[in-house]
Structure 1
Amino acid sequence: MKTKFGHLTYCTNIHPGESWVDHFRELQTHLPLVKKEISPDKPMGIGLRLSNEASLTLIKENNLLEFQNWLKKESLYVIAINGFPFGGFHSEVVKEDVYKPDWSDKRRIEYTLRLFSILKVLLPANEEGGVSTPPLSYFYFDTNENDRTTRRKNSTKYIIKTLVALIRIHNDTGKTLHLDIEPEPDGLLGDFKDWVTWYTSDLLPNAIPSLMDAFGYNFQLAEELTRKHIRLCLDVCHLAVTFEVNPNLISELRRLRIQVGRVQVSSALKVKFPENVEGVLQSLKPFDEKKYLHQVVVITNKGEKKFYRDLNLAIEKGAEAFEEWRIHYHVPIFLESYETFLSTQEELKMILAEQKRERFSQILEVETYTWNVLPQNLQLPIGKSIVRELQWLISFLDSNSQI
């Protein structure tokens, strides 16, 4: 729903269904119930997740019209699309396949432009909307820096082609659409620092002359439009895992004039190590599940930072002396602790407090999809779980609390 803090929504990647028929059935089941609890008297926005397969079906005119009519009937609207997982997000094993195809593959730009073609139809008048996307690629797809550099250059070329398409859409329709690139641990843009370096050293120097050639823009306008249409997807869980959520983050974004397409409202697992290290490691083993990557960033008792591709690899190094772990696990945001473990709710509150002080993004999208970490007595059906997350977000934004 639209509030003074921005559009509050959640990402439908929690609902299964790789085909449009299956996913639409899930939306019809859950969205009206969520809206009734969260926004009974006003339209409610959704962050739509579409697989490649689903997008190929939905873009057909009759299907898109049917969906539009259903959204209108239920007083719902689409404000954003999650274009990170190309397909198989609910497969038995996802892991690094979530990055495939990456931005060096033309299938990624074809899929992304299809999502924008859908969004430009569904987006309400006088609103901006974005499609989120991976941090170019996965770092470990390549084994040497030369290959990574080549992949990065090819990915940037496709990003610039997408930028050109978004400007053409704006020129034709007046709608502002933006690509929201999402840093993630072990992505080719693995953290905020990597993202900024790429944006300032790769994207802008190549995008600006491309727009000057394609449209005849001067340097200033070409830069302005690049910044307008290529934005940061600020996933709070991801930046908390890399220890980058701090009071200076938003001021640094303002200094660099980087726009935030959306804030993905999310928490990670935080582990503080007492003397009983082995006991903590044993308690972590149930979290080592096979579906998703759970990258770990560790601070040792000497203050050093270490990175592990997945939780099992970090657990194997259990003899080392640790101070704190951050684990890529999208845990429910309404709790600050999970029995013996903490969440990064404190870091999430810090970002939300900045949003309250000075709205730096138009979209706040809850992205929780790991529910099995909850104690049994706190587990609810998925619809009620989503409502609880959104209610916590609304309550925090409406409160007078500051960090």
Structure 2
Amino acid sequence: MELSPFGHISYCTNIHAGEHWEEVFDKLKQYIPRIKTEVSPDKSFGIGLRLSDIASKELLEGNNLTEFVNWMAETDTYVFTMNGFPFGSFHNTVVKDQVHAPDWITQARLDYSKRLLFILSQILPQGMSGGVSTNPVGYRHWFKGQSESEGALEKGASQMLEVALYLHQLEKETGKYLHLDIEPEPDGFLENSPEVLDFFQEYLLRLGKPKFQNELGVSAEEAERLIKRHLTLCYDICHFALAYESPEYTLGALKQAGIQVGKVQVSAALRILFDAEPNKVWQVLEAFDESTYLHQVTQQTEEGVKTYADLPDLLAHKGDFTELRAHFHVPIFLERYGLLQSTQDQIKAVVDYAKTHAVSEHWEVETYTWDVLPADLKTEMGACIIRELQWLKSEFES
């Protein structure tokens, strides 16, 4: 739904299991009409669509795309953003670091991303911008040493620039403006604002400006403008909370560098405070240990942010801590989880910032851990999605 002047607000359908298009479409039919009735009864409802590589290929087969467009017309819905981070299976399997596979050094990631953007160009309403979020080049622990890492960043930047050129041409052909939204997260090559700024300056712009000048016959200034127009940031609130960055700092730094926020993913991390009954806190935290997703844990130290690669790594070395934050995309409408808290305050801070600053046209709630939450926190999914969207809407309207 569009909530003026903030932009389009929805939730990411990666919450629904389904790797084939038929499964995805069945879930949309099951949940979207009910959610729209509750959240946006009098306005069109936007969808944050997630398609696996397989589903994206299947959607382009036969009459599938036409049937989907017709269904959206019948239900008064539209797609304005897509999640292109998880390539393959995202449910009922061990995902962990494989959420980054294939990464941006591969042809498969490039082809998948361009396919998603093409699909979006076909279904995006005229006059509306569209974006596809993607992983932050790759998983840094797969690469050994500075040389391998720099090589991966260079290759990843080169392939993202191919996407930017593709989107420039696509806009000329369709009149639709689309962007690729790069999503920093813990243990990705891009984790925080300094790394984002460095990637844009030292890789995307260094490689991209002469490439765009040569291929498009434009000035260096125009080349930079086009790169920053089509390559933007996906600002995941949970991820930047894990980096211990305030929204004012991050969003201010991006604006100063001329980097756009293509999408805000509205999400919350777990905050673990050890101010009372630390043994009980550890017991509660252990209930969140599960085998599907990576749950990096971060600690603010005098030397900077220290990251534990996964929750079991922390639990195996319990120490004396004051505060930790865990990558767990917990429901955004809750501030506390028993003895644990969330970084819901960071969401409120971003919304407050957006009331006086232009942030992004796209806002997507991304809570995807419902199935792996401790039993006492699980409830019916549709009701939870509705509650999340109503909570976010009320924060914007307050």
TM-score, structure 1 as length reference:
0.95
Structure 2 CA distance for partners of 1:326 and 1:73, relative to 1, 3 Å: same
In structure 1, the partner of 2:13 is 12
- Asked if 1:154 corresponds to 2:155, the answer is yes
> 1:230, 1:149 → 2: CA distance?
20
Contact 2:288–2:374, Cα closer than 8 Å, also in 1 = no
Contact 1:179–1:231, Cα closer than 8 Å, also in 2 = yes
1:187-336 alignment, distance < 5 Å: 187-274=188-275, 276-299=277-300, 305-318=305-318, 320-336=319-335
> 1:121, 1:374 → 2: CA distance?
40
Letter paired with 1:344: T
1:314-393 alignment, distance < 5 Å: 314-318=314-318, 320-371=319-370, 373=373, 376=376, 379-393=378-392
Contact 1:179–1:229, Cα closer than 8 Å, also in 2 = yes
How far off its partner does 1:195 sit?
1.4
> 2:305, 2:119 → 1: CA distance?
42
Contact 1:11–1:367, Cα closer than 8 Å, also in 2 = yes
Write the deviation string for residues 157-205 of structure 1: whole angstroms up to 9, x where unpaired.
Answer: 1111111101000111111100000000000112222111111111111
- Asked if 1:139 corresponds to 2:140, the answer is yes
How far off its partner does 1:373 sit?
4.0
Contact 2:284–2:340, Cα closer than 8 Å, also in 1 = no
In structure 2, the partner of 1:2 is 2
How far off its partner does 1:220 sit?
1.3
Letter paired with 2:309: R
> 2:47, 2:336 → 1: CA distance?
28
> 1:67, 1:17 → 2: CA distance?
16
1:99-110 alignment, distance < 5 Å: 99-110=100-111
In structure 2, the partner of 1:95 is 96
Letter paired with 1:31: I
Letter paired with 1:295: Q
Write the deviation string for residues 357-377 of structure 1: whole angstroms up to 9, x where unpaired.
Answer: 22210011000112354773x
What runs of 5+ residues in structure 2 fail to find an aligned partner? Answer: none
Contact 2:287–2:374, Cα closer than 8 Å, also in 1 = no
> 1:14, 1:245 → 2: CA distance?
27
What runs of 5+ residues in structure 1 fail to find an aligned partner? Answer: none
> 1:149, 1:226 → 2: CA distance?
20
How far off its partner does 1:275 sit?
5.4
Letter paired with 2:221: Q
Letter paired with 2:360: S
> 2:277, 2:374 → 1: CA distance?
23
How far off its partner does 1:282 sit?
2.3
Letter paired with 2:341: L
Contact 1:242–1:326, Cα closer than 8 Å, also in 2 = no
Write the deviation string for residues 334-386 of structure 1: whole angstroms up to 9, x where unpaired.
Answer: 0111110010001111111111222210011000112354773x643111110
> 1:217, 1:258 → 2: CA distance?
20
The percentage of aligned residue pairs carrying the same residue is 42
> 1:137, 1:388 → 2: CA distance?
33
Letter paired with 1:315: L
> 2:304, 2:193 → 1: CA distance?
19
SS in 2 for 1:357: coil
How far off its partner does 1:303 sit?
7.6
> 2:279, 2:143 → 1: CA distance?
34
SS in 2 for 1:199: helix
> 1:246, 1:329 → 2: CA distance?
19
Structure 2 CA distance for partners of 1:22 and 1:375, relative to 1, 3 Å: closer
> 2:280, 2:177 → 1: CA distance?
52
How far off its partner does 1:211 sit?
0.8
Letter paired with 1:289: E
In structure 2, the partner of 1:37 is 38
SS in 1 for 2:262: strand
Contact 2:270–2:330, Cα closer than 8 Å, also in 1 = yes
Contact 1:51–1:88, Cα closer than 8 Å, also in 2 = yes
Aligned residues: 396
Letter paired with 2:297: V
Over the residues paired in the alignment, what is the CA RMSD in angstroms?
1.4
How far off its partner does 1:304 sit?
5.7
How far off its partner does 1:91 sit?
3.4
SS in 2 for 1:90: coil
Contact 2:193–2:250, Cα closer than 8 Å, also in 1 = no
Contact 1:236–1:245, Cα closer than 8 Å, also in 2 = no
Contact 2:244–2:300, Cα closer than 8 Å, also in 1 = no
Deviates more, 1:326-335 or 1:195-204: 195-204
SS in 2 for 1:183: coil
> 1:77, 1:304 → 2: CA distance?
42
> 2:387, 2:374 → 1: CA distance?
13
SS in 1 for 2:248: coil
In structure 2, the partner of 1:80 is 81
> 2:304, 2:32 → 1: CA distance?
45
TM-score, structure 2 as length reference:
0.96
Letter paired with 1:326: R
> 2:72, 2:66 → 1: CA distance?
10
Letter paired with 2:163: T
Write the deviation string for residues 106-145 of structure 1: whole angstroms up to 9, x where unpaired.
Answer: 0000000000110001101101000000000001111222
In structure 2, the partner of 1:398 is 397
Structure 2 CA distance for partners of 1:375 and 1:355, relative to 1, 3 Å: farther
Contact 1:333–1:345, Cα closer than 8 Å, also in 2 = yes
Structure 2 CA distance for partners of 1:123 and 1:183, relative to 1, 3 Å: same
SS in 2 for 1:322: coil
Letter paired with 1:389: E
